[in-house]
A and B are shown apart, each in its own frame.
Chain A
């Protein structure tokens, strides 16, 4: 079976600066793969290049179909959904409208209702806030809405950009619990995260990006025990929490 996502030798240039220097990665079906690394390592650039929000070189395939020549909205139609960094919800639209926008490509009303109920099962708070405008939600609720909106598009591959960014630890826990539930349903997930500990706990495999290159990759468990990861990202002492 073909991989959900296969990226081969991806390069991204901003002017004269190469932000991504030829990385390759795969996400198998039903797998959670984490992309970790420090600020400026090229994580978000990689994600944006994958859905063609920015120009890049290299080969990208979704479920065996090439991304070449496709625009961002056509990639969404392949069953790939991006939850952008900073959530990017529609602030002046209600929670319901946000969710309905997610289902723009799926017109069947009954199916839409069914998927909305699934989102509410995942994030019960959204059901309570249905009529509220997006920008009146708390940061955590906005992240839930962003993920819920992406789920409304019935994706097969979910790309999450920093879902823990700026959230209280308790909410981060809730959101990552939901991510695991989504993955258990058979979705493939590429998770970009700065919170290395959390990412390695959630994902099955991980790639470590350092200045635009894959420095390390492998099983999340092995990486967690790797001394290089421990000293660089986990603060050396694995018993200490870094939230």
Chain B
């Protein structure tokens, strides 16, 4: 019963995405579609970061690093998969094959970003507050410097897989939102499970949580891995949207942008993170002409927000689906 309901919803969703994708292709200019895709990628970034920064309360300032790992790993996998399968400039894969290649690449992106999340999280999540922020900030810089100095990955000029036209642009509306919905559902369900409750308990009082028999270190590392993997997928989608990735795409301002998203939406709220992601996606685009002032604008925005609504737009609450769309759940509603 539940299974058939889920299947029906999934099929309807895929059909819907496919339809919208087609309509956007036909009737909407690329520029707008691009902004919509950016917002989708931002939503993955924000929901991913929110799991560790908002729900678990472990402040990471270095998620651009995980995004970079995901971007490079995805691009590397897609390029090598293509040459292994014999695709090249004169033998371009069919559209469905492009999406498949991209998705396989994204799995690699998630895997490597998740591993990075494990490597950074396992030793550093023992730290608290400011110390953790500094360690994660340092990690992101180290990642950026590694990519800058690895000639095989293009060094400072960026990675294009040795293609004169850059990375294949396989990211489209359909795949961005398919992955976004998949990951947001996954992280949403995790957040509202008993594991998610344990993560919130860690945010509230770590010692009390540990005393209740919960392995808080393991829970924090688990949250870090899931968070990093999701952000890695967003990085991979970003890479194949831009057609090129440079180490400088993943500087601190990218981490700050992610933090602004979840602060705007409300720390700890999944739906808030999505709203914040869309907000930042749109304002970033609006500020394209004054690029150099972006960090300044963010600061002003944050100061304004802290004065007017310190808990963010939604606080820690969630927007919920209207009742007729909600599926009955056993126990906690």
Q: Hey, which bits of chain A sit against chain B, CB under 8 A?
A: 51, 53, 71-74, 76-77, 81-82, 84, 88-93, 97, 100-102, 104-105, 109, 134, 146, 149-150, 153
Contacts and interface: CB of A to CB of B under 8 A. Distances in A.
B207 A101 contact: no
A84 B212 CA distance: 11
Nearest to B210: A72
Contact of A101 (B198, B215, B316): B198
29 contacts: A51-B211, A53-B207, A53-B210, A73-B214, A73-B215, A73-B216, A76-B210, A76-B211, A88-B207, A89-B204, A89-B208, A90-B200, A90-B201, A90-B205, A92-B203, A92-B204, A92-B316, A93-B201, A93-B204, A97-B197, A100-B194, A100-B197, A101-B212, A101-B214, A102-B212, A104-B194, A105-B213, A150-B212, A153-B213
Contacts of A153: 212-213
B322 interface: no
A109 B204 CA distance: 24
B331 interface: yes
Nearest to A112: B331
A101 B201 contact: yes
B209 interface: yes
Contacts of B214: 73, 76, 101, 104
B205 A109 contact: no
B200 A92 contact: yes
Contact of B207 (A84, A92, A134): A84
Greatest chain B CB density within 10 A among A72, A74, A100, A109 is at: A72
B311 to A, nearest CB: 11
Contact of B213 (A73, A84, A93, A97): A73
A105 B213 CA distance: 7
Contacts, number: 75
Nearest to B211: A82
A56 to B, nearest CB: 16
Contacts of A101: 197-198, 201, 209, 212, 214
Contacts of A76: 210-214
Interface in B183-236: 194, 197-198, 200-201, 203-205, 207-216
Nearest to B215: A73
Greatest chain A CB density within 10 A among B201, B204, B212 is at: B212
B213 A77 contact: yes
A151 B69 CA distance: 45
B201 A73 contact: no
A165 B216 CA distance: 27
Interface string B132-154: 00000000000000000000000
A81 B198 contact: no
Closest 9 A/B residue pairs (Cβ): A76-B213, A90-B204, A88-B208, A82-B211, A105-B213, A72-B210, A88-B205, A73-B215, A101-B201
Contacts of A81: 211-212
Contacts of B215: 71, 73
Nearest to B219: A73
Contacts of B203: 92
Given A90-B205, A91-B205, A104-B198, 20 more contacts: A53-B210, A71-B215, A73-B211, A73-B214, A73-B215, A76-B210, A76-B213, A84-B208, A88-B207, A90-B201, A97-B197, A100-B194, A101-B197, A101-B201, A101-B212, A102-B212, A104-B212, A104-B213, A146-B208, A149-B212
A134 B194 CA distance: 18
Contacts of B205: 88-91
Contacts of B200: 90, 92-93, 97
Contacts of B210: 53, 71-73, 76
A93 B209 CA distance: 13
A72 B197 contact: no
A197 B235 CA distance: 63
B292 to A, nearest CB: 38
Contacts of A90: 200-201, 204-205, 208-209
Contacts of B194: 100, 104
A82 B201 CA distance: 16
